[in-house]
Structure 1
């Protein structure tokens, strides 16, 4: 069975490009005990969700998940299969966590790039990743390994055991596999690269027509509006803003902030910029625990029928440090007793109020704890028989899967209690109390002192903080039947036909205590309830037309209970005029129906920041997203054209080059806060309705967003894959072993997300929102019967921070909100070098004992640095940990 087709014939040449990772590559090259880390190095993947870049997903339910993303088109458009069948999703978005796969049993990973909805159904718009298991493994193998970073942190360890045996004279087979992996969390970022202080700010020298860039990129910069002990940003009454720049230190000490050589309302260059704890107190890596168990029982009940049952259970927990609290606009009255005690009544004469910004060092950092379990049970049969006098094969299965998750955020501020605790007054006895307690003494309010570090009482912390949580349940039932046969032949050879059908039912439910559904600075969880089912039938054929020329076509009829009927199709062909070269091409029409989260999300919220395009100030935003039941399926067309060269005069050499183009209409996407505010100020007033001041005052703005059918999403590029395998004796006579050189690269020529608002930006090479221009991976291995050494180089090309910026330093044109000018828009590329080695011990019995050592990021190269607040580094393509070491042992009996 070849991935990308239901036709069971190994002689069929697929017109669709397929890249594979073998079991030996997985064992020798995996940079960690997580298979997804190796798969994501393949250039076809861009923008995947990982524990590294999902650590701040406080309300989406995705924190800790490893979800593959083909072509940067979104994980929800990349279908993940296990032995050709769907895997139970790990979130209500329908995405699959690769951690749920029994990794010790994986013997091959196939990646099909290009639409495959006609073969596999919805979600295969960008392609398919199929994890193929060794279902007939016999023996016992035990793996154990441990790792650590060059900085002495990031300690991890992993163990796995797999056993398999036959019974009933080989008719039956039992397989059992389990593994456990633990990783210590890294809860602060003390790496040298995190102190670069790059920012993008509005150019204070800019004036209309003076030729200066609208934005400038600066270094040695930091946030000036929120400090660990609080800073006064403005005051009213008396002399307006006379108190601006007073900040508070240990024990409430009063200091005056140095705004440096250049400052805006949110950023200071030079001066006291280092006082802010920008990105230093955000977790770099989560603490994680993963447990997997997988079992399979099969039995040949007849020569043409094998029945089997599979079961798997995965349990995982991810704990993150999500960083400090941020309050940018705390309003204190001029008579606030803490303020009077700190500054004196004379300094506050005629001052009616002050506005304070703080990261509240006294309050414990926000912490996320995501616990998830995924169960999957499959029963089916398969076999081979004779039909029409030719070999045929069949399979049928029914599968039930369920995911349970509990997302909890610790130390989250309750906005109403923050307001009560901030409004402090003196009682008749002279004690500082909450004003609300004067009329309701039993309300439990404890006043909070925002002025300094080491000053907030335990009672105040307990009063204002809470731990919101949500439970979610996702259930999936899938059944399918497939038949592959050869009903007739042409003069050029046998015609292969596959037919089949599938039924799928998905539903979500959840629970959130009423007290955690609203009123919190982040979280405000709501339970999502929704359901849909889908019925599908397909037919696929591969017919030879002439010697070396064949055509492959498929069509699928799909009926969704929510979005109705759709038809998908695919047609392709191969032509091999001579043995040395094969040409291939495909055209497919694919769909993706909206998932339960997009349709029925009851509402999730998260806190983020935006750059105000008018003032250049950074503003904090509470963004809330809900589902949209009016969504319709998105439609995609993908074209691939390529060739595979295997020259006879160079045995072992294979080169493939493929051009791809995918265009998605009515793509289901949504605008996020930065885009919403940009479009509002660009004149698209419909976006302004989504922006409101935060009524609680905890954040600057409140934004609403829901998914809708975009106008277009388009990408194109070139995949290059070359490998050369040759024995060393070709170079050195009588030498043992062989070399394998393998290079893969993808050149993204175009990536356009067009919203239909009158403009579209090609974001290829745009590190903030598009795939890099080039993604590459090269490996070179030397292997003998006793040992192997593998060197791996991988990375991305340099590019732009945002393709929306126009780079100039002088003679800049007039301001354009869609394409503003900037003095420096360049970001460097990435190049990482890894070294892996194995050594098989000369054991005298039947056991095989192999030692291995992997060194990742051998040069301890920095991540790609970007001009952002917080953790100012790219978290998707970069190595954040630096040089790491992992060693272990594999034993097989």
Structure 2
């Protein structure tokens, strides 16, 4: 964090700003409105050109604005003591060239390019982010409480390793995992987003292993602005509306300032998928032609496939007694009519190719987009109580609710006795002669779909002070603050099956009067059990549905108290220049509590909620310095001492330097040692569960499992070493051109991670008994298996790659003599060279380029903007490179090697990349008595390109890097008074 005083001078008009910025080259982000990588410094007095040192060490200039600048307090009103926050260092000297790469998004860029009314959607387009949690990809986050959260993920290292700041301070978490929902921030007041791509624990503390994203507010805004917009998809669904208002004013002769904002957003849910791309029927199945040594791949990828072991009205998958499996393939339709299933040209225990594969139709019945409502309120009051002190108080309140369709019920192995009266009535006694039972699979069309309803509120209250004073004969800066944040969530899953009641309702008999009843009711008539008919559609009674379904819920509370002090000064100088020093400390206390009714704590197919209780605190102190060594050469270093109540003392550090031998090029490098302590969820999670499927590597059979995850109080902090080496080139002979290239490498030891069901099964098959002990049969028979897992410190996580960032801006008159305005081209790309999770269990998979398990090889984003006095046009091209469905597979068609559970062979493992083209149009209306009025239209995915298709059941598309809605439109108006 850099704190610097705003010098006195008048605010330039829009036309003056345009003319002045066209006098010198600028390094711009894609919106053509602010310097890419640039640290913010005060505007120059009128008549001067303001050059600043960017975070990448390049001189930059203010860029043209397409609208009148926001009317922040002029220096006639301000006291001259206003402080500004800049990301990347605590040194209070804007001329320091940070050795750490910092990328920036400006307010103008956010306005021009944001595809939705969620700021996180734009930030996540930056190539440095991969695998973030979004409302789109958390549809099946049934028990984790994360559904609906927009959490940033730098370098694909996990949102828990990416620290989110607001004006340099921690943001209260939106879940007990500690991750932050970006939607809780006052988005209309964000004037810049800075992204530090490198380990920053020594400067900012734990969780900054992958880097920091700092949202900077316009805290001195004066005036009133109102935004309103609405959007819809090309298919006529997914309608959304958004309105926001923000205002600020000064008082007491400019000593005080008040800032208020509020916004509301609503989005319609899309609870079925009618897109054509969702019917491709790609699946991965065990190759029936495979035999040891015959050179065939163990798995094959097929099309025109569908689920055959669970149909809307039920299908018999197996029968016992009599002629074993004689009844397999009988399925039940409307009213219970009986049909024979056609298993097609290729069939496994769960998938058919051709034939009646389309009967399941499960992929259409998943939700594509949640229904959501979001409300935000924010207020800030500041007052200059002394020439060296400004006190302030902030408060914010966020309320959000996300409702998902999580798809139909899914039971692949319901055990029905041969004497069950519904079965006898459907097939006849003769067909069931000597049959002791059947196993039925169903998606229970008669039952309502499962639904996630996550409601949460997040509150934050901050009190602090900041200012400048003289120390050692030079200006020093200080900040101090205390902050309280609290999150309340109500996590509910509607229409969940109770396993004990399912068993009771399935065990049906006839009573003495010939009526079909539950067997348990014969001995306990008042137990409320209603018999259930699984055999057909339109046959289940409402009494049975009401008996077996419930709505488990959990209330969770997360509190965070943070206080910190920072001091930056220049104690002395050497022959090479001023030596800058920053010192500070921080205290943080986090605690979780919750409540779950006893009846919802166990016995459910999913959502067996338990409340999580736990707490820890941490004390930290840091020292940072910036030392000029020689002409063009400077050193930057930081060290932090941290003491956790749960895991003890750790030290983090960072060293770096810059070298600028000539004006045109700057070299930089950093080496950091970072830590992340386990969060409350990892330590104390009382237990969450979800139903999923796993593939048995021995048989190729798909099994339904209930996976339960608990915390591990024995976890230790993970440690990381990060190296970044790069250069920034700004050639004088091409004014307006800037290029940066950075190589990064991060290696995390004792990484806190957990294995998921499929990996646990694979590891058990390889002979690791620790994993086998986590697997057991489901005694209720509702699922095939129960799997238990908890996080632990495994061997290491390692990633490396290259970031490339290039921009070029120039006045259009360079090309067309009499043309006005400016043109900006900006390209960003990240190339992941390596991404390895080494469990220490004997095998390693590099998942770089693995679309489902790791970051893509390439993530890129290019933009071009033309800005004139009254309008601007922006085009954005973005996407990811082609890759593999899973890097664990070995692709081959002939002469395939022997079967290996960790690296099985497959005939086709490739997944195409994607490419999206977006357009934005803005037009400034000449309206009297209004400071500025602007109309805008965003068109996302202009080419209506489909998402990346995956060979999976259910949603047949990647939901992390792909656009699922198709072409969407969003238009609105912005007004400023």
TM-score higher than 0.5 here? yes
1:762 matched residue in structure 2 = 846
Q: Deviations over 1:435-475 (max 9, x none)?
A: 00010111110000000000000000110010000000000
2:965 paired residue among 881, 884, 890? 881
Deviations 1:243-263 (A, max 9, x none): 000000011010000000000
- 1:315 equivalent in alignment to 2:399: yes
Unpaired runs of 5+ residues, structure 2, are 3-85
Kindly indicate whether residue 605 of structure 2 is the aligned counterpart of residue 543 of structure 1: no
- The one of 621, 624, 636 equivalent to 2:708 is 624
CA distance in 1, matches of 2:334, 2:939: 43
Is the aligned partner of 1:554 residue 2:635? no
Q: Counterpart in 2 of 1:37? A: 121
Deviation string for 1:61-94 (max 9, x for gaps)?
A: 1010000000000000000000000000000000
The question of 1:415 aligning with 2:502 is answered no
Aligned twin of 1:118: 202
**Could you tell me which residue of structure 1 aligns to residue 927 of structure 2?**
843
- Provide, for residues 191-247 of structure 1, a one-character-per-residue CA deviation record: whole Å limited to 9, x for no partner: 000000100000000000001000000000000000000000000111110000000
Residue 842 of structure 1, CA deviation: 1.3
- Name the SS for the 2:90 alignment partner: coil
1:834-863 Cα shifts (integer Å, max 9, x gaps) = 001100111133421100000000011111
Contact 2:930 2:975 in 1 (8 A): no
Q: Is the 8 A contact 2:362 2:408 kept in 1?
A: no
- The aligned residue for residue 829 of structure 2 is 745
Residue of structure 2 in register with 1:160 after alignment: 244
Equivalent residue runs for 1:99-110 within 5 Å: 99-110=183-194
- How far 1:734 moved relative to its partner? 2.0
Moved more, 173-182 or 843-852: 843-852
1:144 alignment partner in structure 2? 228
1:385 and 2:458 aligned: no
Instruction: Give the corresponding residue for 1:435.
Output: 519
Alpha-carbon distance in 2 for matches of 1:4, 1:701: 49
The corresponding residue for 2:737 is 653
Q: Distance in 2 between matches of 1:857 and 1:700?
A: 42
- Among residues 577, 586, 590, which one is paired with 2:674 in the alignment? 590
**How far apart, CA to CA, are the structure 2 residues paired with 1:617 and 1:24?**
54
Q: Is residue 2:419 matched to residue 1:335?
A: yes
User: Structure 1 residue runs of 4+, over 6 Å off?
Assistant: none
**Which of 314, 321, 336 is the aligned partner of 1:252?**
336
1:181 aligns with 2:280: no
After TM superposition, give the deviation of residue 653 of structure 1 in Å. Answer: 1.0
Partner of 1:804: 888
Q: 1:24 aligns with which of 100, 108, 123?
A: 108
Partners of 1:587 and 1:690 in 2: how far apart? Answer: 39
Residue 545 of structure 2 is matched in structure 1 by 461
**2:871 aligned with 1:771, yes or no?**
no
Q: Give the structure 1 partner of residue 297 of structure 2.
A: 213
Output the CA distance in 1 between the equivalents of 2:603 and 2:164: 38
Answer whether contact 2:885 2:950 (CA < 8 A) is retained.
Answer: yes
Which is further off, 637-646 or 605-614? 605-614
CA-CA distance at 1:55 after TM superposition: 1.4
- SS where residue 756 of structure 1 aligns? coil
**Partners of 2:910 and 2:767 in 1: CA distance:** 28
Q: How many Å separate the matches in 2 of 1:634 and 1:185?
A: 39
1:613, 1:882 → 2: CA distance? 36
Deviation of 1:872 after TM superposition, in Å, equals 1.3
For 1:869, the equivalent position in structure 2 comes to 953
> Counterparts of 1:418-497 in structure 2 under 5 Å?
418-497=502-581
Among candidates 69, 72, 79, match of residue 163 of structure 2 = 79
Please, which moves more after superposition, 412-421 or 607-616?
A: 607-616
The Cα offsets for residues 772-822 of structure 1, whole Å up to 9 and x where unpaired, read as: 000000000001110000000110000001111111101111111111110
* Residues 821 and 866, structure 2, Cα contact 8 Å, conserved in 1: yes
Q: Does 1:581 align with 2:581?
A: no
**Which of 675, 679, 684 pairs up with 2:768?**
684
2:108 paired with 1:58: no
CA distance in 1, matches of 2:781, 2:245: 54
Which of 699, 703, 706 does residue 615 from structure 1 map onto? 699
The C-alpha deviation readout for 1:610-631, integer Å capped at 9, x for no partner, is: 1111221221110001110100
Q: What is the distance in 1 between the residues matched to 2:494 and 2:930?
A: 52
Q: Select which of 258, 283, 298 maps to 2:367.
A: 283
The alignment partner of 1:421 has SS state of helix
Equivalent of 2:179 in 95, 103, 106: 95
Q: CA deviation at 1:277?
A: 2.2
Q: Name the CA distance, whole Å, in 2 between partners of 1:454 and 1:190.
A: 23
Give the TM-score taking structure 1 as reference length.
Answer: 1.00
CA distance in 2, matches of 1:846, 1:211: 75
Q: How far is the alpha carbon of 1:685 from its aligned partner?
A: 2.2
Distance in 1 (CA, whole Å) between partners of 2:630 and 2:930 is: 51
C-alpha distance in 1 between matches for 2:823 and 2:109: 13
Selected match of 1:856 from 940, 952, 971:
940
In the TM superposition, what is the alpha-carbon distance from 1:686 to its structure 2 partner? 1.9
Aligned equivalent of 1:823: 907
Establish whether residue 499 from structure 1 lines up as the match of residue 579 from structure 2: no
**1:169 and 2:253 equivalent?**
yes
SS of the aligned residue for 2:845 comes to coil
Residue of structure 1 in register with 2:376 after alignment: 292
Tell whether the 8 Å contact from 2:669 to 2:726 is kept in structure 1 after alignment: yes
Aligned to 1:892: 976
Measure, in 2, the Cα distance between the counterparts of 1:382 and 1:397. Answer: 9
Q: Please tell me whether residue 792 in structure 1 is matched to residue 876 in structure 2.
A: yes
Q: Could you tell which deviates more after superposition, 607-616 or 828-837? A: 607-616
> CA contact under 8 A between 2:633 and 2:660: conserved in structure 1?
yes
Please tell me the root mean square deviation across aligned C-alpha atoms, in Å: 0.6
CA shift at 1:695, angstroms?
Answer: 1.1
State how far apart, in whole Å, the 2-side matches of 1:759 and 1:697 are: 34
SS of 1:711 mapped into structure 2: strand
Whole-angstrom CA distance in 1 between matches of 2:229 and 2:901: 53
Q: Which residue of 1 aligns with 2:91?
A: 7
**Cα deviation, residue 181, structure 1:** 0.3
Secondary structure of 1:761's match? strand
How many residues align? The count is 893
CA distance in 2, matches of 1:265, 1:258: 13
Query: Equivalent residue for 2:288?
Result: 204
Write out per-residue CA displacement over residues 111-145 of structure 1, whole angstroms, 9 at most, x where no aligned residue.
00010000000000000000000000000000000
Deviation at residue 525 of structure 1 after TM alignment = 0.3
Name the structure 1 match of 2:44: none
Deviation (angstroms), 1:688: 0.9
Aligned to 1:602: 686
Q: Which residue of 2 aligns with 1:701?
A: 785
Cα distance in 1, alignment partners of residues 696 and 381 from structure 2: 60
**Equivalence for 1:514:** 598
Query: CA separation in 2, counterparts of 1:454 and 1:87?
Result: 50
